Amino acid sequence: MEFSLFAPYINRAAIQGDFTEWKEHELEKGNDGYFRSTFELADGDYEYKFWIESNSPWQLGQWVCVTDPMATDVNEMNNDNSVVHVLDGKIIVDHYEWQHDMDSLPADVELVIYELHVKDFGGNFKGVVDRLDYLGSLGVNAIELMPVSEFPGDTSWGYNPRHFYAVETAYGKSADLKTLIDECHGRGIRVILDLVANHGQDENPLAQIDHNYWFKEQNTDEFQFGPKFDYDHWDDNFKLFPARKFMNEVAFHWVTEYHLDGVRFDATALIDNFDFLHWLGDSVKQANGMKPFYLIAEHLPIDPAIVGFGKPMDGLWHDYFYWQMTANMRESEFSGWQPFDWEKTQAAIEPARSGIIGPTAAVNYISNHDHNRLMFELGTANITGEKAFRKSKLAAAVTMTSVGVPMVWMGEEFGEYWDKSIEPRPLHWELLENQENSDLFHFYSGLIFLRKTTNALKTEHIEFFHLDEENKVLAWKRWDDGGGVVAVVANFSDNALGDYAVPNFPEGEWHEFIFDYDKSTENGQMVDVIGASECKIYLKK
């Protein structure tokens, strides 16, 4: 078995482990910048560490013990030892046989994404598998996992990766993650992984080996999350970008080893290198072959230049949607966003108005892990009880009928009220025993079914045909090239409007989806009963 370490500017390196009786064994340095050594190993599991003469400024020339930066398994209970698994004379990640590789999966335009944190949703990978039937009943066809790379301790959001190749110990083994992904594929659910490419945790091995080779000497970001990768650093001796090389290998590992269907890149505005992101995105798509693959950016503040055809990413977290819709639902100012700003509301529903062009370019949500859930924010505006559930249903209806890919943050679908916190916030599953929470879940489920089965909602075609600022009513239509049309009438006020006439309504016979009845236009208008904070969705017959 060959063990190797890429560290071209350190002078010496050694390995010690089970197979050396924990005695240091000098590694030989090649002209390619790799240190290497070969050992004859029987099948089994082995632990090891590297000893290196550090080139990091604060410990220059000191001998430091580090985990293999490319270790796919780490024993956190034993000093973060690297763990290598040998089977049939080869080093493997694990022995897992995929069952659903050939199952068909939805295209990007068909996605309804469910973002989840493994520990708070199910405790570990096996716990998430146990709740896949729940997600099936909800109807989502993609899950977006918050980062699962090894981080210090057992509790974290995962944005502090210490070991980029290894699966977080508290969540389970690599085979457990593969089982989760395989089971998702068997249910027609795609799996998108949140990948941290901006930075590493302070004590990650690369920072200990040669900090300034992979990371910026000084991190000038306003937000300090750990050593920041230097994607501009070019090594002229070896003709490569060290940080780009490493992150490309990391992404390739996750995509190919775990059969991922997409990646969400964290903090791309801080990465601030579109050339690198474009190259990395193309690389992982090529690694995935012909299967659908969705690249998502979290880019704040929003920059439309990162998303769309010929650009680095396929999708962009649409934070403007969150801010404006939350202000609308609260009926009050929200972090500088004014309620019922109709220009911004229409731009949220039609992202092209902000330069975010294409049916999959915007990922719309009423909440995500970075924000408090709607129920919590409604509570801060003294909106509770039945009114809060009306607002939640209205927000869901707008999300599912806007241009873009809808995303649900775990628990939003049944009225979870936890505040945002990096501390454990396990979902209150018992809420589903309450009638109002259960009704909200079924409301979401129905809307998700509508979104997945209605082609008009998968296009970028949209037209607003009615705005009543006094009554706070906005109406728009969506359509496809095959003649399908959906008309949406949303009452953003909490006043019941009785028989309300919507002018300029598209002519024809219609079926109202939410309340299940037929309706016709009369003299170019639709007259219907519109309740408080209510949305009507009409499908052309």
Give me the phi and psi of 18, to 5 degrees please: -50, -40
Coil, strand or helix at 208: helix
Q: What is the mean pLDDT of residues 105-111?
A: 98
- Quick check: 263 pLDDT over 90? yes
Range(s) within the chain of domains with CATH label 2.60.40.1180? 462-540
Cα–Cα distance for residue pair 152/81, rounded to 1 Å? 13
Percentage of residues in the chain with pLDDT exceeding 90?
98
Q: In CATH, what number does 462-540 get?
A: 2.60.40.1180
Give me the phi and psi of 14, to 5 degrees please: -140, 165
Question: If you count DSSP H runs as helices and E runs as strands, how many of each does the chain have, helices first?
Answer: 13, 28
DSSP, res 434: S
Q: What is the mean pLDDT of residues 393-402?
A: 99
Q: Of 317, 334, 445, 444, whose CA–CA distance to 380 is shortest?
A: 334
Q: What is the pLDDT of residue 129?
A: 99
Q: What is the mean pLDDT of residues 18-24?
A: 97
Q: Of 184, 166, 317, whose CA–CA distance to 254 is shortest?
A: 166
Q: Read off the pLDDT band of 331 (50, 70, 90).
A: very high
Q: Looking at 162-209, which runs of residues are DSSP E strands?
A: 163-167, 190-195
- Quick check: 218 pLDDT over 90? no
Range(s) within the chain of domains with CATH label 2.60.40.10? 2-92
Q: What is the mean pLDDT of residues 74-91?
A: 97
Q: What is the pLDDT of residue 42?
A: 97
Query: What's the whole-number average pLDDT of the chain?
Result: 98
Cα–Cα distance for residue pair 384/326, rounded to 1 Å? 15
Q: Read off the pLDDT band of 221 (50, 70, 90).
A: confident
Statement: the pTM of the whole predicted model exceeds 0.95: yes
Q: Read off the pLDDT band of 429 (50, 70, 90).
A: very high
Q: Are strands 517-520 and 509-512 parallel, antiparallel or unpaired?
A: antiparallel
Q: What is the pLDDT of residue 255?
A: 98
Q: What is the pLDDT of residue 289?
A: 86
Q: Looking at 77-162, which runs of residues are DSSP E strands?
A: 81-87, 90-92, 113-116, 142-145, 149-150
- Quick check: 222 pLDDT over 80? no
Q: Write the CB contacts of 119 (distance below 8 Å, at least 6 apart in sequence).
A: 155, 170, 171, 424, 426
Range(s) within the chain of domains with CATH label 3.20.20.80? 110-316
Q: For residue 121, what is the enclosing H or E element?
A: helix 118-122
Instruction: Specify whether the CB–CB gap between 280 and 251 falls below 8 A.
Output: yes
Q: Are strands 462-468 and 498-503 parallel, antiparallel or unpaired?
A: unpaired
Q: How far is CA 326 from CA 320, 370, 418, in A?
A: 10, 14, 16
Q: Write the CB contacts of 344 (distance below 8 Å, at least 6 apart in sequence).
A: 320, 324, 337
- Quick check: 290 pLDDT over 80? yes
Q: At what angle do helices 435-453 and 385-401 cross, to 10 degrees?
A: 10
Architecture of the domain whose range is 110-316:
Alpha-Beta Barrel (3.20)
Instruction: Specify whether the CB–CB gap between 83 and 46 falls below 8 A.
Output: yes
Q: Of 264, 258, 256, 329, whose CA–CA distance to 286 is shortest?
A: 256
Quote the tokens at residue 336: 């500088």
Q: What is the pLDDT of residue 19?
A: 97
Q: What is the mean pLDDT of residues 68-72?
A: 99
Q: What is the pLDDT of residue 128?
A: 99
Q: What is the mean pLDDT of residues 86-111?
A: 97
Quote the tokens at residue 296: 């998502």
**Residue type for position 293:** F
Q: Write the CB contacts of 159 (distance below 8 Å, at least 6 apart in sequence).
A: 147, 196, 225, 266
Q: What is the pLDDT of residue 9?
A: 98
Q: What is the pLDDT of residue 62?
A: 98
Cα–Cα distance for residue pair 363/355, rounded to 1 Å? 14
CA atoms within 13 A on the CB side of 524: 4
Cα–Cα distance for residue pair 170/146, rounded to 1 Å? 14
- Quick check: 225 pLDDT over 90? no
Query: Which of 71-85, 217-231, 241-255 has the lowest average pLDDT?
Result: 217-231
Quote the tokens at residue 173: 């083994």
Q: What is the pLDDT of residue 224?
A: 75
Q: What is the pLDDT of residue 421?
A: 95
Q: Write the CB contacts of 363 (distance below 8 Å, at least 6 apart in sequence).
A: 113, 296, 315, 316, 317, 318, 404, 405, 406, 407
Query: Which of 40-44, 259-263, 288-292 has the lowest average pLDDT?
Result: 288-292
Q: For residue 438, what is the enclosing H or E element?
A: helix 435-453
Percentage of residues in the chain with pLDDT exceeding 70?
100
Q: Read off the pLDDT band of 183 (50, 70, 90).
A: very high
Cα–Cα distance for residue pair 244/238, rounded to 1 Å? 13
Instruction: Give domain 2-92's CATH number out of 3.40.50.1970, 3.30.565.10, 2.60.40.10, 2.60.120.920.
Output: 2.60.40.10
Cα–Cα distance for residue pair 184/178, rounded to 1 Å? 10
**Calculated CA dihedral for residues 167, 171, 176, 182, nearest 10 degrees:** -90
